Structures are given as structure tokens and as C-alpha cells.
């Protein structure tokens, strides 16, 4: 436990189905332990080569595209609302990083548990949450829970 005596859970959330599963598990664990939840959403700018594809439709229309940072903030707000609805104390951090694993590990330095989805790509371009679980498992300063979807 941290110096505050509260059990701290860090969860990676990018809006993907797998990150929703991880968030659900982390919120419930924090609720049962009367702990604190830290939600981390990492984003990066897409490569310049992607921009024409992002901004121009097949019909040649230019599309107003939200920035990856703005989309990350929207996703983060969704996660914090889920925690609030469950009565869990939560804080969020939107991090600009090319390495979601590094972003999670930085926030997890004084955590008691890190929760990540088994895999995912994020709900939209520019956000990452996927095979970071392997990196987090190998370098986290605390236990790591990897949440997998139930087998069909």
C-alpha cells in the first residue's frame, strides 16, 4: 500500500473493448478495497503519412478530425465517469507518449496493482493500448493483472 494507506490501482484505458474489461475489473477491485483508481490514457500523434487518409474521404471531402489528444480526453472522461458511478475515488492522466507501457509504468511507481487489457488497438487512431501488457508485466514495480475476455 502507498503511504496514504489507500490501495492504489493503475489501469490503462484507451476505449477499446479490452480496456473496458480492464476498467470494469479495476473499478470493482477499487470499490471492494475502498481504494483509489488512477486511469492512464496514452496518446501519440499519427505519422504524417496517415494525415491524408485521416482528413480526406474517398469522395474527396475534407473531414474535421478531432486531435488524438482531444479524443484521449474524451475517452478518459468516460473512464472517470464509470468510476464515479461506482462510487470509486478516481483520478485520470492523459499522457502524450509513443510508449503506452512507459506511461503506465511512470504512473505506477507507487501503485499497489496495475490492470491492463490483454490486447487492443484503441478505439481510434493515435491512441495505443495493445501488446503493452508484456512490457508492463516485465517492468512494473507491483503486481500486474491482465484481463482477458471470456472465451466464447
Count of helices and strands (H, E) across the chain: 5, 5
Q: Are 15 and 124 in contact (CB under 8 A)?
A: yes
* All residues at 6 or more sequence positions from 31 whose CB lies less than 8 Å from its CB, including other chains: 86, 87, 88
Q: Is the pTM of this model over 0.75?
A: yes
- Residue 46 has which C-alpha cell? 499519427
Cα atoms found within 13 Å of the Cα of residue 55, Cβ hemisphere only: 8
Q: What are 98-134's pLDDT values in tens digits?
A: 888 999 999 999 999 999 998 755 444 444 445 788 8
Rounded Cα gap, residues 137 and 10, in angstroms: 13
Domain ranges of the chain: 1-46+86-103+139-151
Average pLDDT rounded to a whole number, residues 15-42: 95
Q: Which secondary-structure segment (H or E) carries 2?
A: none
Q: Are 11 and 115 in contact (CB under 8 A)?
A: yes
Q: Are 8 and 108 in contact (CB under 8 A)?
A: no
Q: Is the pLDDT of residue 16 over 80?
A: yes
Q: Which residue has the cell 479495476?
A: 26
Q: Is the pLDDT of residue 90 over 90?
A: yes
Q: Are 115 and 124 in contact (CB under 8 A)?
A: no
- Predicted local distance difference test score (pLDDT) of residue 82: 95
- What's domain 1-46+86-103+139-151's architecture? 3-Layer(aba) Sandwich (3.40)
Nearest C-alpha neighbor of 8 from the set 32, 48, 34, 35: 35
pLDDT, greater one: 3 or 22: 22
pLDDT, greater one: 122 or 5: 5
pLDDT band at 62 (very low <50, low <70, confident <90, very high): very low
Amino acid at each position: 500500500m502507498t503511504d496514504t494507506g489507500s490501495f492504489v490501482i493503475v489501469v490503462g484505458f484507451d476505449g477499446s473493448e479490452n480496456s473496458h474489461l480492464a476498467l470494469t475489473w479495476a473499478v470493482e477491485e477499487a470499490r471492494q478495497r475502498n481504494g483509489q483508481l488512477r486511469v492512464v490514457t496514452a496518446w501519440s500523434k499519427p505519422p504524417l503519412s496517415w494525415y491524408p487518409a485521416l482528413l480526406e474521404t474517398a469522395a474527396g471531402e475534407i473531414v474535421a478530425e478531432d486531435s488524438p489528444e482531444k479524443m484521449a480526453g474524451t475517452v478518459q472522461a468516460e473512464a472517470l465517469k464509470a468510476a464515479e458511478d461506482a462510487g470509486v475515488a478516481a483520478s485520470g492522466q492523459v499522457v502524450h507518449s509513443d510508449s503506452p507501457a512507459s506511461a503506465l509504468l511512470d504512473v505506477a511507481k507507487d501503485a499497489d496493482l496495475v490492470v491492463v487489457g490483454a490486447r487492443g488497438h484503441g478505439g481510434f487512431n493515435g491512441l495505443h493500448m495493445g501488446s503493452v501488457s508484456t512490457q508492463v508485466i516485465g517492468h512494473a514495480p507491483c503486481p500486474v493483472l491482465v484481463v482477458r475476455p471470456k472465451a466464447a
